[in-house]
Every structure is written in C-alpha cells, then in structure tokens.
Structure 1
Amino acid sequence: MADSSKLTLPTFARRMSLREKVADALRGAIVSGEMKPGELYSAPDLAERFGVSATPVREAMLDLVKQGLVNPVRNKGFQVTAVSEADLDHITRIRELLEPPAAGEACGHITPELLTTLQSLAGDIVAAAAEGDLIRYIGADHEFHRRLLGAGGNHRLVRIVEDLRSQSRLYGLASLAEAGQLVRNALEHVQMCDLIQAGKADDLEDLMRTHIGRVRREWAGRPS
C-alpha cells in the first residue's frame, strides 16, 4: 500500500462540502504524477491526510473512476490508471487542434472583469511555480484555461478540453520546479493576459500552441 503521507495534498479539515475539492486535489496529484500508476491508495488513508472523513474521499474517487483516472480494487482501494506515451501524444495533438483557435476566438469576448480574474489566476500560477506547489499550480492552471476558453461560449468544447487535460500526465513538473524553470513557463500565462488586453488574438493563438507543445515535451519529462 502506498504511503499517502508523502503526498503534498492540502488539508480540508472542518469543512462540510468537500467532494469536489477533494476530487480536484486528487486530480492534480494524479496529473502531476505525485499519485503514481499501479500503486494502491485507500480512501481512509487519504482521508486522514486531508483531515476529513472517508466518505467524501470515496465519493471523489468514484467520480475519478467515471473519468477514467483511477480504477477501483475490491476491498483494497484505488489504483491510478496508466497513460501510454502514444495516448499522451494523441491528447496533445487534439489539444493543439482545439485550444489555440478557441483561445483566439475567445480573445474578443473577454470582459475587463474576466481579464482581471485571469490576471489574478496567472499570478497564482507563477506563485505556485515559485513555491514548487505542483497541485496548486495545476489547479490554478486548469481554472485559467477553463475561464479563458469559456469566454468563447462553446461550453461543449470546454468540457472536452477539461477531460483531455485531466487525462494528461505532467511527470516533468517536479524536475522543472527544482531547476527553477517552472516559473519561466508559468509566466506564459501572464503573457497571455497581456495579449488579451492588447487584443492580439493571432498572437494569443500562437502562444497557446507553443504552450501546449511545451506541456508534452518539458512538462511531461520528454525534452524532445
């Protein structure tokens, strides 16, 4: 049984509605590679780590089962599903086809209020990168891209992209953070905000394409 005490998961003690929060944290741990394929994770152990009861953890895990991120192991717990290199290549290719043009289209629909939110999220991403907090990084990154693409109004596309992002694995994040390179990548979100503010939709589309390609190379631990 894997030791959940080594995972850098947040604590949600004394809160009532925790299912989605726990699911988001676990999803971040899976995507970042902190929770590893093939290892067993029990709901009680994770619940102790979170500082909550086992019920919202089990419910969150069942949500992740439906998303294909973990598999239940009878009377033992859950295992993170493995994703092949070919699958990761396919996910990246689909994202490259969908996200850059969607971001360019969304650029002209972003209100000043939403831009302020995106700038705040970009700041959170940079701060998390500087601190090496990978789960917080992935959470803020996910929210940034969800809100950016959502401005285009195609919510079906947003759901597809969210599903693809959840199936990704970014095993290279830890080494990038240790080498001090993750902040450089995080700053691309600040650049995106600057391009949105300047109304440069084509440049935003180009940057998004570069950003996604780097996810597959550097962030996934495959430099070339």
Structure 2
Amino acid sequence: MKPVTMRFVLLLLTCGLFSVDAFAQYTQTNDMEGRPVHEYSTINMQGSPYLYPDFAQGTILLKNGTIYQGINMMYDQVKDVIVFKGKDGKVKELMEPVQEFKINFIQNNQATEKTFRRGFSGDRLSPEAYLEVLADGNTVLLKRTTKKIFDRKNYSSATINREVQEAEDYYVATGNKVVKVKKTKSSLLAAMPDKADYLESYIKSNSLILRNDSDMAKLVAYYNTL
C-alpha cells in the first residue's frame, strides 16, 4: 500500500475512534430515573411555577459526568426540581444527581438558552440549590429565583385564586463559595475589591445600569479579563 494511502486510512481510523469515544460520553435517551409528579392545578393561577410554562429542549449533566441531550423538560422553581417526559409520555421528577443543566425556549420572540448549576455554598445557600449562571469564568455571577404559591379565597366565594410569587437573590462566586450581592455598584465592587478602580471606570465608560442582569453580567465578565 502506498504511503499516502496508508496515512489516509490511519487518519480515517483515528477519526472513527475519536467519534466513538466522544459518543460514549453522551446519551440521548430520556430513560432516566424519575418518580411520578403531582401536577399543579393551574385553574385561576396567576403566574407559573416553572421557569418556562411549556416543555422545552434541554441538556442535563449529571455529577458522574453522564450527559443527557434532547430532553423534553421543565424547571419547577417552586420545588427546585427538573421535570421531564419519560419514554411512556408520563411526566416525572428527575431523581438522579444533577450538576448542571441547560434549557432552550423562545422568550419575547427570541431563542433563549439558560444555564443552571449546583454545588455552590455560603450565605445560607444550600449546595443542592440550582442557580442561574449569568456570567461564567474564574468569578461567576449567579442568580437564584425561588417561587411560592399562595391560595386565596374571597369572602362569600367558593373560588380559590392561586398566585405565584417569586423572589430573586444574586451571588458572586469564586470556586464554589458565594457572596451574596445586591444590584448596586457598591455591593458588586465590594465582592470584587481587588479591581474596584478598574470596575468603576468600566461602569462609567459603558454607562452600565447595575439593576439589569445583563449589565451585571458584563461587569463580572470584564472582571474576569483583568
């Protein structure tokens, strides 16, 4: 066999082995460990207990490194759990230990991807809580959204009105340790004090409004470049 042909065959074999190895790290099955879900009664409900009110495509990374792709899922922000559709079409709550997940949906006519991660602690935050990653890197900006359902019954009425109320908290993390921050310049600079002068100049020159998630994320992303 000619040397050029031999090199071509070896290249094909190498690519084939790489593809098999890469595929072995992933699974597209939704035959995951779950338990039946008691679904919410949404009659007369204002707001949604979910991040997005319909099933959407997502990717789930387990703590053991297994990755599930193309999962029809929802993120329940009341119970702080992932809900998915099993092979039988039944809705289940995921029971496997999750490290991170991504979910894709349409919001305001735009394709949106959100990433949520576990494993952070500090400021009375549980390592099992899911936090949205707003800016990633050596320093991470995180958002924690919690929801609660309140039932109200008006006087002399048999109708129960349900209302979903949500609260948001923000954290700056280095490694897996977090510091809770407010959506103010002073709070954010206090969480990143070693570069406060640079950050203050960046805020001013870019007219950042730090009550906006996107501008907070820009500031932390800039900090990671310093």
Q: TM-score, normalised by structure 1?
A: 0.25
Name the one with the larger helix percent.
1
Higher strand share: 2
Larger radius of gyration: 2
